[in-house]
């Protein structure tokens, strides 16, 4: 069965510092991979997605993620965090004709001034 693991429940970084959020997936074939962000009191918004091709994908708000098949990982990165990036981040995996996305448990990002 497909599954997504986000090993970090909370991460705190200083404003201006770099960020990496971890995501590991379990899936038999090449999955479709996504990162979503949930700001306080809001629904989830798609940051970026990977279907195939270049393993480094760019998203909105300056985020990027790298697909590493050998490590079954799809980590999210940002070179310099802004206070407005404080939110909860969800990694998700999908499969054609599955009619759903499977979400990880989320990582809450706190940003220190």
Residues that bind other proteins (CB under 8 A): 4, 9, 32, 34, 36, 41-46, 49, 51, 90, 94-101, 103-106
Beta pairing partners, 10: 108
Query: For 25-35, b where at least 16 C-beta lie within 10 A, e where not — what string?
Result: bebeeebbbbb
In angstroms, the CA 108 to CA 10 distance is 5
Give least dist CB 15 to other proteins, A. Answer: 26
Give least dist CB 16 to other proteins, A. Answer: 29
| CB-nearer residue toward other proteins: 28 or 43 | 43
């Amino acid at each position: 069965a497909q599954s997504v693991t986000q090993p970090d429940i909370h991460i705190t970084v200083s404003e201006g510092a770099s960020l990496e959020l971890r995501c590991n997936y379990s899936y038999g074939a090449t999955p479709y991979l996504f990162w979503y962000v949930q700001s306080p009191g809001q629904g989830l918004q798609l940051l970026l997605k990977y279907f195939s091709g270049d393993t480094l994908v760019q998203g909105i708000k300056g985020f990027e993620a790298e697909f590493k098949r050998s490590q079954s990982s799809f980590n999210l990165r940002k070179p310099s965090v802004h206070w407005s990036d404080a939110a909860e981040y969800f990694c998700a995996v999908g499969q054609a004709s599955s009619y759903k996305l499977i979400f990880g448990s989320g990582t809450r990002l706190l940003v220190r001034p």
